[in-house]
Structure 1
Amino acid sequence: MDINLLNFFVFNSNFGPREGEEHKRILFYHPSAIDIDTKIKQVGLCEAIIKFSQTFTDEPCSNVHTQKTRQLFLQVEPEYWMIMTVSVPYSQRSKDGQSFIEYHEDDVQDSVYDAVLHQAYDMFKFFNGTMEKIVAESGIEELLRRLEHFFSKYLITLKLSQSSIMDVINGIHFLPLDKNTYLRIQCFINLLEAQFPRVKYTAFLFNDQLVWSGLEQEDMRVLYAYLTTGLFPSYNESELQGPQSKSANTAHHGKFILGPPNLKDETNVGKIPRIYLIRRASAESEECLLAVYRALNASVCLIMDGHTSLSFDYLRKLDRFLGPQLSSLATDIGDQYGKRSN
Structure 2
Amino acid sequence: MGLSSTTNINESTQICVFDLKRGQHEGQELDKILFFYPADCPFSTQLSVIGLSEGLITFTRIFSPDDACEVIEAEKHSHVFFEAEPDIWMVMIIEKNKEAEAIWRIDALKKVLNELHSLFVMFHGSIRAILDKDPGGGLVRIHLYSFIMDYLSDFLLGKKLQLPSFRDSLKERGTIQMLTVGREAAIGVQSLVRVVESSCAGNTPCNSLVLFQDLLVSTTLPPDDTVNLFTYAVLRLAPRALSSATSTWSYLRKGTTASQVATDPIFENAGSGIQASRDTSPSRQGQRHHVPRPLQQGKWSKGKDGFLSTDIWGTQVDNLGSVTPTVWLQQTEERVYVCVYQQKHLTIILLVPVSSIVNGEQGISIVKQQFLENASLKILKVEEKLTRGWGGENAYHVAGYRYLLSDSDRNISRASPPGKVTTLTKDSLLALNKLREEVDLEKSRTKHDDLRCEKDLEVCIRARNNAWVIARVTRGKELYMVLEKADETLLYASDAVEKFSIRYCDGAFSLD
TM-score (norm 2): 0.55
Aligned with 2:218 (options 212, 222, 238): 212
For 1:229, the equivalent position in structure 2 comes to 235
Per-residue deviation, 1:178: 2.1
- The 5-angstrom pairing of residues 1-342 of structure 1 reads 6-58=13-65, 59-91=67-99, 107-139=103-135, 140-158=137-155, 159-162=162-165, 164-165=168-169, 168=172, 170-197=174-201, 200-232=206-238, 233-237=240-244, 244-248=301-305, 255-258=306-309, 267=319, 269-270=321-322, 272-280=324-332, 285-307=333-355, 308=357, 309-311=360-362, 313-314=365-366, 315-337=368-390
Letter in 2 for 1:221: V
Contact residue 16 and residue 35 of structure 2 kept, 8 A = yes
* Alpha-carbon distance in 1 for matches of 2:171, 2:86: 25
1:132–1:324 CA distance, 2 compared to 1 (3 A):
same
Letter in 1 for 2:163: L
Letter in 1 for 2:334: E
Q: Deviations over 1:279-318 (max 9, x none)?
A: 25xxxx3211212211011110111112332227423443
1:143–1:171 CA distance, 2 compared to 1 (3 A):
same
Per-residue deviation, 1:258: 4.3
* Alpha-carbon distance in 2 for matches of 1:20, 1:297: 56
* Alpha-carbon distance in 1 for matches of 2:193, 2:36: 43
1:90–1:258 CA distance, 2 compared to 1 (3 A):
farther
Per-residue deviation, 1:136: 2.8
* Alpha-carbon distance in 1 for matches of 2:323, 2:80: 33
* Alpha-carbon distance in 2 for matches of 1:155, 1:168: 18
Per-residue deviation, 1:31: 1.4
Contact residue 290 and residue 302 of structure 1 kept, 8 A = yes
Contact residue 17 and residue 35 of structure 2 kept, 8 A = yes
1:313–1:109 CA distance, 2 compared to 1 (3 A):
closer
Instruction: Give SS of 2:390's match.
Output: helix
1:183–1:137 CA distance, 2 compared to 1 (3 A):
farther
For 1:98, the equivalent position in structure 2 comes to none
* Alpha-carbon distance in 2 for matches of 1:39, 1:338: 50
Per-residue deviation, 1:8: 1.0
Moved more, 112-121 or 59-68: 59-68
Letter in 2 for 1:132: R
* Alpha-carbon distance in 1 for matches of 2:96, 2:320: 46
* Alpha-carbon distance in 2 for matches of 1:5, 1:214: 42
Query: How many residues in Structure 1 have an aligned counterpart in Structure 2?
Result: 311
* Alpha-carbon distance in 2 for matches of 1:259, 1:326: 23
* Alpha-carbon distance in 2 for matches of 1:222, 1:73: 21
For 2:501, the equivalent position in structure 1 comes to none
* Alpha-carbon distance in 2 for matches of 1:270, 1:108: 41
Instruction: Give SS of 1:272's match.
Output: coil
1:120–1:229 CA distance, 2 compared to 1 (3 A):
same
1:28–1:166 CA distance, 2 compared to 1 (3 A):
farther
For 1:96, the equivalent position in structure 2 comes to none
Instruction: Give SS of 2:119's match.
Output: helix
* Alpha-carbon distance in 2 for matches of 1:333, 1:258: 25
* Bigger helix fraction: 1
Letter in 2 for 1:56: F
Instruction: Give SS of 2:303's match.
Output: coil
1:144–1:151 CA distance, 2 compared to 1 (3 A):
same
* Alpha-carbon distance in 2 for matches of 1:151, 1:214: 29
Instruction: Give SS of 1:15's match.
Output: coil
1:194–1:317 CA distance, 2 compared to 1 (3 A):
closer
Instruction: Give SS of 1:326's match.
Output: helix
For structure 1, list consecutive stretches of 5 or more residues without a partner in the other structure. 92-102, 249-254
Letter in 1 for 2:230: Y
1:209–1:258 CA distance, 2 compared to 1 (3 A):
farther
* Superposed CA RMSD: 3.0
1:4–1:204 CA distance, 2 compared to 1 (3 A):
farther
* Alpha-carbon distance in 2 for matches of 1:75, 1:21: 22
1:276–1:4 CA distance, 2 compared to 1 (3 A):
farther
* Alpha-carbon distance in 1 for matches of 2:374, 2:96: 52
Moved more, 160-169 or 174-183: 160-169
